[in-house]
Amino acid sequence: MIHDPAEWLADWLQTDMGGDADGIAAFITGLTGGERPERRVGNLYAASVSDDGLLLENIMQDDWPPVLVPTAISLAGLRDLK
């Protein structure tokens, strides 16, 4: 399994963030230096903000490592969804 950050981001946005304007705004705020949202567990992923971007964990696959999506890519995806 290739753990491509852009693919994970696209999947997370589709499965866990569609229609969640408050969640999208919270992650954008956290990624731009504001208050970080708490780790959020969705339908398929757990997501949290780190110093280097968005950390996504596939909660259905315990043996897969988390994937770090760099800040710039994360913000672009979130802003496109908004």
Tokens standing for residue 78: 């979130």
| Residue 6 pLDDT | 95
Could you list the residue range(s) of the whole structural domain that residue 17 is in?
5-81
User: Looking at the 3D structure of the chain, how many domains does it have?
Assistant: 1
Mean pLDDT of each 10-residue bin along the chain, 82 residues long: 88 95 97 98 97 97 95 97 75
| Residue 68 pLDDT | 98
| Residue 3 pLDDT | 85
| Residue 1 pLDDT | 55
pTM, two decimals, is: 0.93
| Residue 77 pLDDT | 97
